[in-house]
Amino acid sequence: MKSRLFFLLSLLAALLAGCGSDSGNSVASGSGSPSTPTEPATFNFVEGTIAQAQAAMRDGTLTCEALVQGYIDRIRAYDDAGPELRSVVRVNPLALDRARMLDASYASDGPSGPLHCVPVLLKDNFDTVDVTTTAGGMALQYNQTPDDAFSVAGIIDAGGLILGKANLDEFAFGFRGSSSVRGQVKNAYDPTKGPGGSSSGTGAAIAASFAMTGTGSDTGGSIRVPSSLEGLVGIRPSLRLVSQDGILPLAASQDTGGPMCRTVEDCALMLDAMVGFDDSPAANQRQAFAYDSAAIENAHEYASITNVPTTYTDFLDAEGLDGARIAAILPLFGNGDDENAQVQSALMAAIEQMRSAGATVDILTEADLAERNVSTDQLTDFPSNSRFEFRRDLTGYLMSWSSDLDGHVRSFDAVAASGGYEERNASTFAFYGMIGMALENTDDMSEEAVDYRDQYQRNIEERPTIVRNGLMRILENRDGDDMSANALGAPYDTLLYPSVQSLAPDLGRSPSAGSNNRLSPFSGFPALSMPAGMVVPAGNDDMADPEPALPVGMELLAREFDEPTLIRLAYSYQETFQPRAAPTFTPELAANDD
């Protein structure tokens, strides 16, 4: 687990001064001339940010214990009761004790780091020593790991506090957002709608302000889909940037953990804490899965290849859209049917806003892509590696610590045989088990087994190069014939498309996600989903009692390890246009509410 210095005193001083977004219901410290007294900073839980909480602590109007207790109260009021969002699996029983310790250290030594007392909800596939890790499945109800995931240790080292575990789509299988441990997660904006997945609980909980920030894992959209449907900023980092140690796998070659937050600046601070080189076998940081780069063998090579900055907050530039070049990929916008039309309209409006802020946004058609010798089918017409790797990777994870103390099951086969999961997932276990066995048993020369092995080999050997090269031809504006960079114009900073091609679906259904979510995991490039705006579902905007407005998400994809550009552009859009709105079903609790 990592141990390193996470902050500079000057950065910390800036954060405590209350820098960052003042959107929503948040309250920042007052300002004035030196001779004018200022009101002490206060903190509202709804939409409250890291900077605002730390400013209130500095001014003595908030303690860490009060902050943690306030979020616990909100979970009791709105997750266990009220709209019953069912987003939180369990609260860390040591959270308040940890808060009191942080208050004591704050009184004597000041803040413990840039995430001082930031209550974080982890998707329940991140290992913690304080709380079991179930992946949403009753089969894993006894999973109590002996240490924290590498990225979780980084959050704690930076001063963060693990508030508890968030619900998810069981074993991170899909986008519905339901598990045998906690049931169906509801959308914070409309509890009759689904939250997306698989990081569904994190999405709903952070949207409803049940914690300050959260984590998700993403194999093929599982951070970005719920972030889109819950109006959040969700970052799927470049592969190998964040260690996968201690994150229950779905497909190790595609998996990555990342932050989910209400603001870009809070996600930048979370990413600071989660990154770093890890020499453990489960890190998945050393394979040469990268555009034009070598394998990572040590911390020096990690720093050289990933270019991790001192802090990602250095790229919080409110004017960052001015001069930016963005390619909107029209074939990824959807088919324009009733379910998709409002998403397209919201993104077109966001494009016009970006242009008004000084960005060049070119809308590329299929014909434009053909000039670059690229088609969207070419980029997305591969299966996910989850079907090939889950059996092997789950067993490897479960075998990584002894079951003597917790009695956890130790193999995919044991989990599958237990039946400790939702009935709808029985067919998935059967399918993944069959393919996994076909890959392991190379003596099986049946046509089906040979075909699965060939598919997986193509995914490993051909897919990364095809997808990465195709994306780079677009980003670099390369002509399809001579392949010279900038042949068709100046290069682009990012690509843009909908995170999800539909609004939130009815509860119990998966959203129409499309295949856009595959571009980042298939290439290893980073992607960020953020709110483009809010819309009222079609047909309900002229009624006396319309349905609640729902978020629409847009995704930005950049070159490998270019998270700074994503943060710069997203922050600029956030600060200029304030696209996020708070849910109405989980308002601020009155002072005397339980």
Return the active site residues.
Answer: 123, 198, 222
| Cβ-contact 274, 258 below 8 angstroms | yes
* Closest C-alpha to 332, from 368, 356, 358: 368
Residue 429 to residue 450: CA distance in whole angstroms: 20
Determine phi and psi for 327, rounding to 5 degrees.
-110, 115
| Cβ-contact 427, 435 below 8 angstroms | no
Residue 255 to residue 247: CA distance in whole angstroms: 9
Determine phi and psi for 586, rounding to 5 degrees.
-130, 65
User: In 183-291, which residue ranges form alpha helices assigned H by DSSP?
Assistant: 200-207, 224-229, 264-274
DSSP letter for each residue of 470-502: HHHHHHTT--TTT--TTTTSSPPSEEEEESSSS
* Closest C-alpha to 193, from 589, 585, 594, 593: 585
Residue 485 to residue 478: CA distance in whole angstroms: 5
* Closest C-alpha to 241, from 278, 270, 214: 278
| Cβ-contact 155, 120 below 8 angstroms | yes
- In the structure encoding, which two tokens stand for residue 310, read together? 């001192």
Residue indicated by tokens 């900055």:
309
| Cβ-contact 459, 467 below 8 angstroms | no
